[in-house]
A and B are shown apart, each in its own frame.
Chain A
Amino acid sequence: MFEMEERFYYPKDFVETNTGNKVNKKTILCGSQQILLSGKSILEQDSVIRADLAAVRIGKFFVLGRGAVLKPSYKTLNKPAVNTQSGATGLNFMYSSMNIGEYVFVNENSFVQASMIGNHVYIGQNCVVSRGVIIRDCVSIADNTYVPPDTVIPPFAVFAGNIGKQIGELPDCMSDLMEEFSTAYYTKLIPIRS
């Protein structure tokens, strides 16, 4: 695998937490009580996480690229609007929490509204992952892909196109590749010490 170039940042532009998360100060994090970052994650400039709508749980070595948007998915329910037992009026509508595994990379300007993402997943630039999508482990989604609502992407699939379809399979070493890639991305982001 190629050697990743080192990238430098000013320490004043990033917030670094005890668990090693590097969060750019120009991100928009809504509902920060409900965001769980497991550690060593990077949130780049202008990225958005909408945890005010539902909880967002993210594994370690997560990267959210510049301008990417992470939003919990919503679903409409087919239950009667009025509960006959309690008499309470419930909405036929709810946001569900979002679970993201380890070593997930979301590239620039992508919009991810998936309900579940497994481990070792790569999502390219300008992708749209619609609501209710379930992405299993070791998946690669090419640039400019549109994944329609409620799609289930099987393990080791390569997804591409608008409308997105499976175009191939990944080798068994995808988990090792993603671990190497995400770890390198994290360690090559170096603060400038004056």
Chain B
Amino acid sequence: MSTVSSQGSAGSRSSVTTPAPAASLNAPPGVIILAKAIVARESELQGQITIGGGTIVHPSARILAENGPIVIGDGNIIEERVTIRNVFPVNEDGSSRTLYIGSKNLFETFSVTEGNIGDLNTISCKARVGKATTLRNGCVVGVSCAVDSAETIPDNMFIYRNGENIERRTSDFNQTPPSIDDHLEFLQKQLPNYHYILKTST
């Protein structure tokens, strides 16, 4: 039984323990994290996953490669409670399909992604992209919209909810996530100060 006085003045000043900044830990086996990617320790990674350079994975995000590998490109922001799952059916010859996600996509809180995604898309809060759907570039899936039809959604499509209906329109300009480059730069500076960052286990 050690008393408080034996811990010294520095130890008794603060009772809240915080993670040491810029510490790195090994990712689970099968997970490849490329340079400058920030993957928080509190995220859940399962299976064969490749996370591209500069991608931010916030704490409590879940990336589950259940039926095959997942490849995530550069500069994506994957916020908390996001689920990215590979639930593609396994081919007849036993080989599995890979879930590809492009670059600079923004996955907002509580969204679920099971289909292939291109570049510069925004998957809003509580939105869902089913396994049959493929998103091209610059699309926006609005808040609590579910897309699960077997189709490829063309460039710059805006999917939004109007009451009970889910409606679509194309826009002439790119629906890129708002100032994603500055957002990425801010998070790459800020997150290592507060979180344990995972690195590929060697």
Contacts and interface: CB of A to CB of B under 8 A. Distances in A.
Contact of B59 (A30, A32, A109, A161): A30
Interface in A77-118: 91-95, 109, 111
A71 B109 contact: yes
Interface stretch (A47-55, A166-174, A186-194): A47-55
Nearest to A76: B179
A128 B144 contact: yes
A28 B196 CA distance: 13
* Interface range on chain A (Cβ under 8 Å from partner): 20 to 34
Contacts of B18: 32-33
A67 B179 CA distance: 28
Contacts of B170: none
Contacts of B178: 76
Contacts, number: 72
B142 to A, nearest CB: 9
Contact of A92 (B126, B179, B190): B179
A52 B194 contact: yes
A113 B11 CA distance: 35
Interface in B1-52: 16, 18, 42
A1 interface: no
Given A93-B186, A162-B161, A162-B163, A28 B144 contact: no
A32 B16 contact: yes
A69 B161 contact: no
A11 interface: no
B123 to A, nearest CB: 13
A146 interface: yes
A53 B194 CA distance: 9
B147 interface: no
Contact of B80 (A48, A95, A130, A162): A48
* Interface range on chain B (Cβ under 8 Å from partner): 20 to 34
A93 B179 contact: yes
Interface string A12-53: 000000000000000010111100000000000000101011
A4 interface: no
A162 B110 CA distance: 16
A74 interface: yes
A109 B81 CA distance: 10
Which of B81, B144, B193 counts the most chain A CB atoms within 10 A?
B81
A17 to B, nearest CB: 10
Contacts of A31: 194
A8 to B, nearest CB: 26
Nearest to B183: A93
A29 to B, nearest CB: 10
A71 B80 contact: yes
A163 B145 CA distance: 12
B124 to A, nearest CB: 8
A175 interface: no
A109 to B, nearest CB: 7
Nearest to A74: B183
B92 interface: no
Given A30-B59, A128-B143, 8 more contacts: A48-B81, A52-B190, A69-B81, A93-B179, A94-B186, A111-B125, A128-B144, A161-B163
6 contacts: A31-B194, A32-B18, A48-B80, A71-B109, A76-B178, A146-B161
